[in-house]
Structure 1
């Protein structure tokens, strides 16, 4: 009986995943011509970014997934930040696009640019990096610093991808890139905790289910006056700011 129930549950999640995928792709194809136009000039990219956010909002609306955000801090749309969160699921990217109102760039893996149509969009709006290539890492850091200098925020998953399998524990230590750029540009880091995104979309099977995504946006951690000598302490402070609320959500702390 248990096996039959599990099979039914698996089948229903499979059907829902197909539905959610169709919604995702349909909205993307409907908006893509407009996004493509606004990617052609640097000064128009803010509009393209807003259209991508609209894509995310419509996807969550029509797929029956709700995002519940607990704001311990509301980012100032006119301020520049480095946003850092845990990364347990591919749905994290869509969540970030919807909940952050700043004009920002992801620092993400360059394999994304190989996806037809989406790859062009992703590469045009974000900063891509091959984490196995030292030159690519240096180039992405340089581009991130220029983005922050221009007033554009950065979003980065400092674990370095979906790397740790003992959820809800994060990979540790975090990568240094986010902290180097924040210290060099003296901009605040805003930690965010994504509690259950991996339950809505499983990273291994990519199966989805409807539900409520629980997110916390924490107060900023200032970097004003910090130097590279302070990086290890800053890194640990950001890690604890993200990880501890996740563990508390699951009753593990």
Structure 2
């Protein structure tokens, strides 16, 4: 019975996401037509994610280690255990944002509009696709757009979830462009909805997100990439262990 209810709730959540996508679609479409409107598109994305979650009884509690200067550009590096992480990060990060995500999202009914416009698709199995994606990311950073890159590259196929090793890409970018990294720990989104919710369903609840203080990169060189990667991994891992 418990699993039946969880799967029924996951269906409710998916229907809510789909329904409010079409409610907000005229605004999303209008703001997606020109890059200068992406700031407004992101505001609508936040509203859409918040409302569609709320209807399913899912809310977000964001805690910041310190006050963040949102006038700066950042690379955001969260751990990844749930589709809810997308909404959580959208709400937690207050400036203009762009996600990097797998290129399969280009074909998604809901995600396709974003990954053809404001977000950046990547096929990590293709060196050419990865090169183009990181080149596009560098251009966004230079324009003051904060990039959100899940350094694990995927939601790990481990339940209960355990963080896997991080890819080097976002850390190399941060050092090359002297952009601070903000680690973000998603503490319990997997308990509300793991992955896409198809296997274990979902439930109402509060998603707890911790936004760490920025890690500065201005004095680092490319030789420090591995150390920076391991530092950010350790920051998130320690928070998960002490939560």
Normalised to the residue count of structure 1, the TM-score between the two structures is: 0.91
Between the aligned partners of 2:78 and 2:194, the Cα distance in structure 1 is 18
**Paired residue total:** 241
- Residue 61 of structure 1, CA deviation: 2.1
**Alignment match, 1:208:** 202
CA contact (8 A) 1:168 1:246 kept: no
Between the aligned partners of 1:156 and 1:60, the Cα distance in structure 2 is 22
**Alignment match, 1:179:** 171
Q: Structure 1: which 5+ residue stretches go unaligned?
A: 1-7
Between the aligned partners of 2:142 and 2:39, the Cα distance in structure 1 is 16
Between the aligned partners of 1:14 and 1:167, the Cα distance in structure 2 is 18
Between the aligned partners of 1:164 and 1:234, the Cα distance in structure 2 is 25
**Alignment match, 1:80:** 73
The superposition leaves residues 126-145 of structure 1 with CA deviations (integer Å, 9 ceiling, x where unpaired) of 01100000011111111111
Superposed counterparts of 1:10-89, under 5 Å: 10-89=3-82
Structure 1 counterpart of 2:137, from 144, 147, 159: 144
Between the aligned partners of 2:194 and 2:75, the Cα distance in structure 1 is 27
**Alignment match, 1:234:** 228
Structure 2 counterpart of 1:107, from 74, 82, 100: 100
**Alignment match, 2:185:** 193
**Alignment match, 1:98:** 91
Q: Post-superposition, which runs of at least 4 consecutive aligned residues in structure 1 deviate over 6 A? A: none
Structure 1 counterpart of 2:219, from 211, 217, 225: 225
Between the aligned partners of 1:112 and 1:186, the Cα distance in structure 2 is 29
Greater relative contact order (Cα < 8 A, sep 6+) = 2
- Which deviates the most, 13-22 or 78-87? 13-22
**Alignment match, 1:160:** 153
Q: Structure 2: which 5+ residue stretches go unaligned?
A: none
- Structure with higher Rg: it is 1
